[in-house]
Structure 1
Amino acid sequence: MTVDRILPTEEAAELLGLARDLAQGELAPRVDDHEQRGEFPREILRTLGRAGMLGLPYPESDGGSGQPYEVYLQVLETFAGSWLAVAEAVSVHVLSCFPIAVAGTGRQRKTLPELLGGELLGAYALSEPQGGSDAAGLTTTAVRDGDEYRVTGTKAWITHAGNADFYSIFCRTGGPGPDGISCLVADAGTPGLLPQAPERLMGLRSSPPAQIVLDDARIGVDRLVGAEGGGFRIAMQALDSGRLGIAACAVGLAQAAVDHAASYAKQRTQFGKPLAAFQGLGFLLADMATQVSAARALMLSAARLKDAGRPFSVEAAKAKLFATDTAMRVTTDAVQVLGGYGYVSDHPVERWFREAKVLQIVEGTNQIQRLVIARDLTRS
């Protein structure tokens, strides 16, 4: 189904058209092969970068495209409908560039055109093995030693680990709690920065995360982003935006599932008539489509708050929560519509079902999103 969109400019409409062409011409024909072989699509990301797709929400003066978030998210949605791992990769790259874009020194910011152009791929290293949700409790340490930091610890669930060219690393330079956390940006070739074996995942097999071991890695003081102790605030600001990116991925995945299930129901016949003619199944499809439209509206509402410079953290949590729960529910129902065929990999709903689950976990589990929303509602 073609989604009827209201876009802010003609340029945005052309950009979304380009995104659709790339999704259909570059992503859709390759996804099954890469997923089966577990091969990371690095060259495809370079192609997207050269097309201006990896720096969409950043200013043109920094090498980005200067697009509002509501446009960027709809591009992500479009990519996710063809290949979730690629859409998530774009979202993670945008996230990894955030620290330098908002808090970088003049010298650091000079690298932004190369970063946002996609020739260099980024990773965002916040989570650790003992806890992802409790970011303020991270234990990776960075000890000042002359004009370097000596960094020791382990980061976990790092998308692009082993494939990234640079890592935005959050580590402890001070005492306990959020005020002791700083952000360092390290090149992939930094001695002592050691990507581990990729995790074996239920879905997203073409982009598995991995741990990063920091074994006395020496990172220059000039790679500190912002002030010492300012890293936690940067991390949380980035996650607010990143949650919208995951919401967009969920909407794109869910829309693809609705479209595929509806098409199948129109073509498949039982008892002499199409499946779609049976009211029970038709109502199921109607509920699926309604939930996806609601998720998209919630996502875009939060994005427009961000674009207007207004607080959007709680609305981002709502969008991430609802959109990813919707993706899980809708892909489950899509498998049911296809019956036995939905359980085999000949139809993409089997892959979408597996992929939807991870969206309820990344960028803060949905239980954390509920906590954010509940605290806002009950704050004195």
Structure 2
Amino acid sequence: MANRRDPMGIGLAVLNRIASSPIVDKLKLRASTEKAVYRGAKGGFRVAGAAGRTFKRVKGSGKPTRLSKTGDSGVFDLTPTEDQQMIVGVIKEFAAEVLRPGALVAETSNDTPKEVLAQTSEFGLTLLNIPEALGGLSEDRSAVTGVLVAEALAEGDMGQAVACLAPAAVATAISLWGSDEQQQTYLPAFAGDDIPTSALAVSEPRVLFDPFELQTKAERTANGLRINGVKSAVVRGAEAELFVVAVDLDGSPTLVLIESSTKGVSIEADPSMGLRAAGLSRLVLEDVDVEAGAVLGDGSADDYRECIRLSRLAWSGLALGTSRAVLDYVSDYVKTREAFGEPISHRQAVAFMVADIAIELEGMRLTTLKAASRAEQGMDFSREVALARRLTAEYGMKIGTDGVQLLGGHGFVKEHPVERWYRDLRAVGLMEGAVLV
């Protein structure tokens, strides 16, 4: 169709945004970016136009705009498209040159620097799942691209990656399930230059939390809904302008949009073992009154289930990136660390442990990408995402533990980043919400 974006257009659109921004000079990415843009332009790709920001309420005039399903090629091929390679290549370089060196400072301050967040907005992360008609980059679902982006960012630092991806989670939720009015009201802001800080709040501060058994309650009133409850692990909650909150409404889990300026909304500290750079906090809701139209879309139970699955898929992608960082780090370490006159990699027990990490990572990645592929094709992916969640949670923790073990005493000190990766990986099996693909 004439108005459909060429599949290569997304990569060029992202690269064009970066090439026109001064951040590339700060990040020393100018040469590689211009080279990629040249190659893209040479192939005849189109560039998405920027959209201005507006946050005032807009009445809907029709059906919401939805992303199309990606067609099934009939071929099982996990090779990223050239489009995906463009995006991931730049983000990997950014993660290596900015996120990795700044990880210790970000963790110490319990926040990701605003300069870093401003830089990642240039990559168009919030645009990947916004329809082109609403200022986004695509007309098709991009769950696989989302997983690859999460993996690339987490290879630098998972905590900062979560902070960078949090606004995209809200934009994706509104895009996938929001009403026409909600899309027209909020999505232009996420497609603009000044992206609002926002968070998807699902988790609650209690033992054995089940996202389908919520204690945050929404009661119907004459004017809409009244919400009471506490949400935990809310990314950068103290600065968020907009929340998508999971609540129990009429006995069914439902997503609700709440603006931070609403009376009764307050934020508390929520110190965590890992993901400290994500600035996790608690969202306290005390008699918060919202309109009935604040329910995301039609409040479908199927939409909520899909949200949880796509969130778990995003966490699986983050686990892949951090696990890859562990593997690369320990592989180099055991080759250079000597004991009794030879590298410790010559010892069979050490070599086998590193090999196991590589094997486990490969299994995690295959399962996660399969789940993402089925998701973007509109196929049932409940089984695949359950497997991906199980493998990344279990083996992610094992990889973190083995990474610390392989470094011996060095694995316990902050001089080496493996102890931080170990703590971050333990979040994969516990976190709900926060990120979305």
Give the TM-score, by structure 2 length.
0.75
Q: Is the 8 A contact 1:170 1:184 kept in 2?
A: yes
Calculate percent identity across the aligned residue pairs. 27
Distance of 2:345 and 2:319 partners within structure 1: 25
Distance of 2:320 and 2:339 partners within structure 1: 30
Q: CA deviation at 1:98?
A: 3.7
Tell me which residue corresponds to 2:281: 210
Q: Does 1:335 align with 2:407?
A: no
Distance of 2:392 and 2:248 partners within structure 1: 33
Q: CA deviation at 1:237?
A: 1.0
| Amino acid across the alignment from 1:142 | E
Distance of 1:214 and 1:315 partners within structure 2: 34
Tell me which residue corresponds to 1:357: 426
Q: Is the 8 A contact 2:225 2:289 kept in 1?
A: yes
Structure 2 unaligned blocks of 5 or more: 1-76
SS in 2 for 1:266: helix
Q: Does 1:296 align with 2:365?
A: yes
Q: Does 1:132 align with 2:204?
A: no
Q: 2:354 aligns with which of 255, 278, 285?
A: 285
Superposed structure 1 runs of 4+ greater than 4 Å apart:
none
Tell me which residue corresponds to 2:61: none
SS in 2 for 1:30: helix
Distance of 2:247 and 2:349 partners within structure 1: 53
Tell me which residue corresponds to 2:107: 35
Q: Is the 8 A contact 1:99 1:234 kept in 2?
A: no
Distance of 1:32 and 1:53 partners within structure 2: 24
Distance of 2:111 and 2:399 partners within structure 1: 27
Q: CA deviation at 1:279?
A: 1.7
Q: 1:41 to 1:233 in 2, by over 3 A?
A: farther
Tell me which residue corresponds to 2:305: 236
Q: CA deviation at 1:235?
A: 2.2
Q: Is the 8 A contact 2:111 2:236 kept in 1?
A: no
Which residues in structure 2 correspond to 1:1-380 (within 5 Å)? 6-66=78-138, 68-110=142-184, 111-115=186-190, 119-130=195-206, 132-146=209-223, 148-174=224-250, 177-178=251-252, 181-196=253-268, 198-227=269-298, 230=299, 232-363=301-432
Q: CA deviation at 1:335?
A: 1.1
Q: CA deviation at 1:96?
A: 2.6
| Amino acid across the alignment from 2:320 | V
Q: Is the 8 A contact 2:215 2:248 kept in 1?
A: yes
Q: Is the 8 A contact 2:214 2:248 kept in 1?
A: no
| Amino acid across the alignment from 1:185 | L
Distance of 2:385 and 2:165 partners within structure 1: 14
Q: Is the 8 A contact 1:54 1:90 kept in 2?
A: no
Structure 1 window deviating more from structure 2 (76-85 vs 182-191): it is 182-191
Q: Deviations over 1:208-261 (max 9, x none)?
A: 42222222223233333223xx25433221111111110011111111101100
Q: Deviations over 1:8-46 (max 9, x none)?
A: 432211111111121123212211111112223344223
Structure 1 window deviating more from structure 2 (87-96 vs 260-269): it is 87-96
Q: Report the count of equivalent residues.
A: 352
Structure 1 window deviating more from structure 2 (156-165 vs 297-306): it is 156-165
Q: CA deviation at 1:136?
A: 3.6
Distance of 1:139 and 1:32 partners within structure 2: 34
Tell me which residue corresponds to 2:74: none
Q: 1:237 to 1:157 in 2, by over 3 A?
A: same
Q: 1:40 to 1:87 in 2, by over 3 A?
A: closer
Distance of 1:255 and 1:341 partners within structure 2: 19
SS in 1 for 2:276: coil
Q: 1:272 to 1:108 in 2, by over 3 A?
A: same
Q: 1:187 to 1:306 in 2, by over 3 A?
A: same
Q: CA deviation at 1:87?
A: 2.2
Q: Deviations over 1:282-340 (max 9, x none)?
A: 11111111111111111111111112221001211110110121121111111111111
Tell me which residue corresponds to 2:62: none
Distance of 2:238 and 2:302 partners within structure 1: 26
Give the TM-score, by structure 1 length.
0.85
Q: 1:127 to 1:20 in 2, by over 3 A?
A: closer
Higher relative contact order (Cα pairs below 8 Å, separated by 6+ residues): 2
Structure 1 unaligned blocks of 5 or more: 365-380
Q: Is the 8 A contact 1:121 1:165 kept in 2?
A: yes
| Amino acid across the alignment from 1:32 | L
SS in 2 for 1:18: helix
Q: 1:233 to 1:43 in 2, by over 3 A?
A: farther
Distance of 2:129 and 2:179 partners within structure 1: 20
Q: CA deviation at 1:134?
A: 4.9
Q: Is the 8 A contact 1:167 1:187 kept in 2?
A: yes
Q: Is the 8 A contact 1:92 1:242 kept in 2?
A: no
Distance of 1:278 and 1:137 partners within structure 2: 50
Q: CA deviation at 1:277?
A: 1.6
Q: CA deviation at 1:6?
A: 4.9
SS in 2 for 1:32: helix
Report the aligned-residue RMSD.
2.3
